[in-house]
Structure 1
């Protein structure tokens, strides 16, 4: 594997570490960060690991005006024997470049980016919490930094990686959440940027999520942007349903993000010989399955929460209760197996984990 030669400047004053037993998600950051600049005609240059600090940009930097930014999210885990594991980081780097392509941003050498990530984690290794259910969240991202007010791709970019020790993403943890089906706002449409991990997708989701939260629901279930009938994602996660013994998930259609946890769940189910199908799923089908008693489980999947079971869906003032509002047997098994592989307590027959 290629290794990136990085200039390293260590912090002279180290931060106080948080209580690893009481971590919240995404509020505390480690001592260092990685920075790598791109200039058109030169390419990527001057990779550095420096003390974590604010960044200074020109007010005309194009990221502020035209939204050229992409990001990724993955985790590092501390095993019982003090090894550090990453979960399928190569998939994150591949998806980063797919997002870059969609937003006319430069591709990055995936092996060199992964090398930088490993070096950064090694420097801030002591920030990785070892408490059950915790991890070190890794946020690689890229922004357009050219100062230019004009609708065109930037000529200059900055790629960065920051790290954050985290606990559970949802305060409910692995307990089932209540979800409101969104019938007014849409997350993305085919041909848009829904299959890229870019900030605008998340900004456009905030309004619906805020309304749902005010009404006592954790998140929204997104329907397609054309007919507002077919299920796409739940909050910022992919979604699965277990109906009459078969697991179904919306097929990738250009507006759904290709989740790495989603991909792993599908591969794990196939490994267990559990029927799993990717296809279009209408909200009416879910309602009918609920009425007939064949809707056995529902859960979201994503890096942050891994598995988030759904106990209730609200659609057109009807509450659809899933599995009596309790976590399902398959959801629990998937969570236990996937987190076990991630933190090294279960065998990894797929070769998904990478040692730092």
Structure 2
């Protein structure tokens, strides 16, 4: 019998949506409970099962997101240049995620800054429906998603703020939502599901992914970290976090190497300890032009002036307030440590 290679394995795997599908594809349960190919397979074929079978088995309704970023948490330079933060193996990974999705979602800022194609090109697969969230109708009609005709495209706009139908290609459908509240991640997911788009990939940018994460609209999150330091730039994940470390989100995570990059696969459906995120999302801000206000992080100071260490911003300017460690010691009433922290804070200024 021919050894199952990576190409053939992917063709089988991308059709799996249930345990019955996995069995039919030739995947049997091993002693550890995981599934493996029944026939002899190459290492690449086994890697595909390890990496993507959990997402395949998530069924017909799953929302997942992907970001590629630097070690210090930026998805692009200060000028918006993101070609490429991560390497070719991560690009192939992203295209496989697209192939496993019914729809791929981006915010208006990403559509304007990157002019992405959002199609499956680095692997076999069907192009997902491209969804552009654009409440003000500010994405130029000349963008590739509206002109190339390579995949169905859904232009989601708000009432009174969207474009007219004239001049758009036959592959573009304009969906007008009644108000800004209808753009909330959970409501968007339901709206897409009613259109038969149950498997949703949120691809960018950082503000859009952060909104979905903060409002608990994601089932799974993929973050690829490249061994590069940018110093400042367009941030990745940012949302109002907890002031207490023990209440931070610590979901189950798997790690894998993608060339020089490291992929973190985060399961957000598993119950987690600690205080839940707030019900309302704070106003997110400008990242690739996606928001209308400054991005806020942690203590409510605009991003770039509120680093966790509480000493300097990217430009070397002193940040207001004592270091974060001092604030936490105050909250816990540790008087002796608090006194030491004050001394340290004075030396750090």
TM-score range (shorter-chain normalised) is under 0.3
Q: Which structure is higher in strand share?
A: 1
Larger Rg: 2
Q: TM-score, normalised by structure 2?
A: 0.26
Q: TM-score, normalised by structure 1?
A: 0.26
Between 1 and 2, higher relative CO (CA 8 Å, sep ≥ 6) is seen in 1
